[in-house]
Amino acid sequence: LEGEEASVIALGDGERFVLLAPAQDHKRVGEGDTGPNTGGMGAYSPTPAVGEADLRVVADKVIGPAVRQLAKEGRPFRGALYAGLMMTAQGPKVIEFNARLGDPETQTILARLESDLLPALHAAAKGDLRGVELAFSEKAAITVVLAAEGYPGKVRTGDPIAGLDQVQEDDDLIVFHAGTALRDGRVVTSGGRVLGVTARGATVEEARERAYRACETIHFAGMHYRRDIAHRALARSGGSK
């Protein structure tokens, strides 16, 4: 399949669904989308790969039919339904479905969510999403994954993480812990994808600059991350890579 990958996640109540804002993940370990696949080295939302019209097509041709068919088969789906898509010239094609949120897509999507998530999750779990609407900010959000040495292969763990206390977290910057552990009062690496630095900004450029500035203050032995997260959005907008 030729095109750009995109992730569209829906919250379903077994019958109805609401869509979360689309995001684009960077699955390959290396810059320029090279090297082996990972769980995701970074993501951003919104993505120009999925415009308003594309999102309606995804709702009508992908999520809607999946939700209806599951209900018809007596397996109504309540929860987060993640469609991994390839946006081709012939429209969106499904690569995979996951019955969960996406990581690191969700960090960027929730950074843009203006509605309260909990009532929406509750409504989905109770089977009645009627009246639930999710509003997303016009702002852009980006997550850069800081990975451990060896990731996505065999990783080294136990490396102390420095600089976390230097990062000024605020409404527009959050460092999510993923593969970390507390050992003797120190935060150390304990998995492949160690931290997810998530930033928000008026534009993807602004969000990106904020995220990478924070990445530069964090350090652990063997740490690596991609420096080109959101490169496709920047190329489209004429920004630098």
Binding residues (CB under 6 A) for ligand GLY: these are 25, 39-40, 98, 102-103, 105
HSE of 239, CA atoms in CB hemisphere, 13 A: 15
Report the residue number, 12 or 102, with the smaller CB distance to ligand GLY.
102
State in angstroms the smallest separation of the CB of 76 from ligand GLY. 23
Selection from 90, 77, 101, 124 nearest residue 21 by Cα = 101
Q: What is the rounded distance in angstroms from the CA atom of residue 169 to the CA atom of residue 187?
A: 17
Selection from 175, 169, 178, 176 nearest residue 148 by Cα = 178
Q: Which residues pair with 193 in a beta bridge?
A: 147
Q: Which residues pair with 96 in a beta bridge?
A: 84
Report the residue number, 54 or 105, with the smaller CB distance to ligand GLY.
105
HSE of 221, CA atoms in CB hemisphere, 13 A: 8
Report the residue number, 213 or 224, with the smaller CB distance to ligand GLY.
224
State in angstroms the smallest separation of the CB of 109 from ligand GLY. 11
Report the residue number, 40 or 152, with the smaller CB distance to ligand GLY.
40
* Residues 44, 233 contacting (CB under 8 angstroms): yes
Residue in the structure block whose two tokens are 């095109």: 3
State in angstroms the smallest separation of the CB of 84 from ligand GLY. 7
Report the residue number, 107 or 123, with the smaller CB distance to ligand GLY.
107
| Residue nearest ligand GLY (C-beta atom) | 40
Selection from 169, 178, 182 nearest residue 211 by Cα = 169
State in angstroms the smallest separation of the CB of 72 from ligand GLY. 26
The DSSP secondary-structure symbol of 10 reads E
Report the residue number, 40 or 192, with the smaller CB distance to ligand GLY.
40
Residue in the structure block whose two tokens are 């077994």: 14
* Residues 225, 213 contacting (CB under 8 angstroms): no
State in angstroms the smallest separation of the CB of 160 from ligand GLY. 27
Please give the single-letter amino acid code of residue 233.
A
State in angstroms the smallest separation of the CB of 98 from ligand GLY. 6
State in angstroms the smallest separation of the CB of 23 from ligand GLY. 9
Report the residue number, 6 or 18, with the smaller CB distance to ligand GLY.
6
Q: What is the rounded distance in angstroms from the CA atom of residue 141 to the CA atom of residue 154?
A: 30
